[in-house]
Amino acid sequence: MSKVYNVNLENPSELVLEGKRQRIAGHFANIIEELGLDLTDPSIKDTPARVAKMLVNETCNGLFSEPPVITTFPLDENTSRELVIIENIPFSSLCEHHFQPFIGTATIAYLPNDRVMGLSKGARVLDYFASRPQIQERLTNEVAQYLFKHLNAKGVFIMIHAEHFCMKVRGVKKHNSSTITTAILGEINKTEVLSSIQLARK
Ligand SMILES: [Zn+2]
């Protein structure tokens, strides 16, 4: 198969990923052929390589990379120790049952102990655990566990609201249904989190 990427093959981890891309492209070419499509068609001929690149470099990249390092800052006496809520963080992931996307938003809330995190870090953690085949329930839990551990927070609350394309385009074809999952670790008041979000929207 012709190589279509610019990769630095001196880098051992890039070499491993390039091997994965080439093998996945070969497997996906078999699927396309089995479906009876013409792999010589100019529109389709690079599809196996495109799908392989999408899986390895993007939608499943969390399987091949390290979790983000959480930068935290110490709280001094003048800083609030109350709830921190970051809401409506968009994400996309891949349903592991059907390999169809599920997309939505997450709300990350935590009650600090002695440190706070950089505000973008929650989004990076979400993206990391979303970049692999997932189920929404596990994704919610993994984000909660990781933040709880690395923030040394008193409590963490995660809520994910998502639409699953496996529900929209196949099976029951319920286009407007969405799924909400939550995870709570440590001491954090869920009602207080939800009422703060409500108040902020008024
Ligand atoms: Zn599914």
Domain boundaries, the chain: 12-59, 72-201
At residue 2, the pLDDT reads 47
Please give the distance, rounded to the nearest whole angstrom, from the Cα atom of residue 22 to the centre of ligand 1.
26
In this structure, which amino acid lies at residue 159?
Answer: M
Q: Write out pLDDT tens, residues 159-174.
A: 999 999 999 988 888 8
Average pLDDT along the chain: 92
For the question of residue 164 being annotated catalytic, the response is yes
Please give the distance, rounded to the nearest whole angstrom, from the Cα atom of residue 175 to the centre of ligand 1.
13
175: burial class by Cβ within 10 Å (0-12, 13-18, 19+)?
exposed
For the question of residue 98 being annotated catalytic, the response is yes
Compute the average pLDDT of residues 98-118: 95
Nearest to 83 by CA among 30, 32, 153, 133: 153
The active-site residue, picked from 58, 82, 96, 187, is: 96
Please give the distance, rounded to the nearest whole angstrom, from the Cα atom of residue 67 to the centre of ligand 1.
25
- Classified by CATH at the fold level, domain 72-201 comes out as GTP Cyclohydrolase I, domain 2 (3.30.1130)
The active-site residue, picked from 100, 145, 166, 192, is: 166
At residue 81, the pLDDT reads 81
Do 155 and 187 touch, CB atoms closer than 8 A?
A: yes
At residue 6, the pLDDT reads 62
- The pTM (predicted TM-score) of the whole model is 0.90
Q: How far is CA 93 from CA 51, 63, 100, 191, in A?
A: 15, 12, 8, 28
Please give the distance, rounded to the nearest whole angstrom, from the Cα atom of residue 128 to the centre of ligand 1.
20
Q: Write out pLDDT tens, residues 37-89.
A: 999 999 999 999 999 999 999 999 999 999 999 989 898 888 778 999 999 99
Question: CA 19, CA 64: separation in Å to the nearest integer?
Answer: 13
Torsion (CA) 124, 128, 134, 137 in degrees, nearest 10:
-40
Question: Which CATH architecture best describes the domain 12-59?
Answer: Orthogonal Bundle (1.10)
- Count of residues for the chain? 202
Give percent of the chain above pLDDT 70. 96
The answer to whether residue 152 scores a pLDDT higher than 80 is: yes
